[in-house]
């Protein structure tokens, strides 16, 4: 029978937890990347919508660019606080763009809804 010291058991548990956290972090990162990629394509779709006026389309280009920056940041490192801050900024930009569309009376689907527009 092999005798394992308490210190070794503790080290093994810490290593196991570290592996679990690494795996969970990668899963979270992958899920976030997938959602951000969807958001990028939706913003791109709005930016290419010829029914919108040029200033509104430019806002959606800016949003798509910002999403691309967040994706780039997320692929380089996973700083939860920084990602949260960037997502809050992104949400603010989207709300501003949507509010302007509403105030101009533009009938456009909300991000996340399917439409039959050209891409």
In this predicted model, what pLDDT tens digit does every residue of 27-68 receive, in sequence order?
888 888 999 999 999 999 999 999 999 999 999 999 999 999
Backbone region of residue 109 per phi and psi (left: phi > 0; alpha: psi in -120 to 50; beta: other values): beta
Position 98 scores a pLDDT of: 80
Average pLDDT over residues 57-82: 85
Average pLDDT over all residues of the chain = 78
Nearest CA to 60 among 87, 31, 80, 39?
Answer: 39
Dihedral angle computed from the Cα positions of residues 105, 62, 96 and 48, in that order, rounded to the nearest 10 degrees? 20
Say whether 53 sits in a helix, a strand or coil.
Answer: coil
Report whether pLDDT(69) > 80. Answer: yes
Residues in CB range of 90: below 8 A, 6 or more apart: 39, 63, 66, 67, 70
Position 116 scores a pLDDT of: 41
pTM for the predicted model, two decimal places: 0.59
């Amino acid at each position: 029978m092999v005798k394992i010291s308490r210190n070794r058991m503790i080290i093994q548990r810490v290593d196991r937890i570290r592996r679990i956290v690494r795996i969970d972090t990668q899963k979270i990162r992958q899920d976030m990347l997938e959602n951000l990629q969807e958001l990028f394509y939706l913003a791109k779709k709005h930016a290419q919508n010829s029914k919108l006026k040029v200033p509104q389309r430019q806002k959606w280009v800016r949003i798509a660019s910002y999403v691309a920056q967040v994706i780039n940041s997320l692929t380089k490192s996973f700083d939860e606080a920084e990602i949260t801050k960037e997502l809050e900024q992104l949400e603010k930009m989207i709300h501003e763009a949507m509010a302007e569309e509403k105030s101009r009376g533009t009938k456009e689907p909300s991000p996340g809804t399917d439409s039959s527009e050209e891409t």
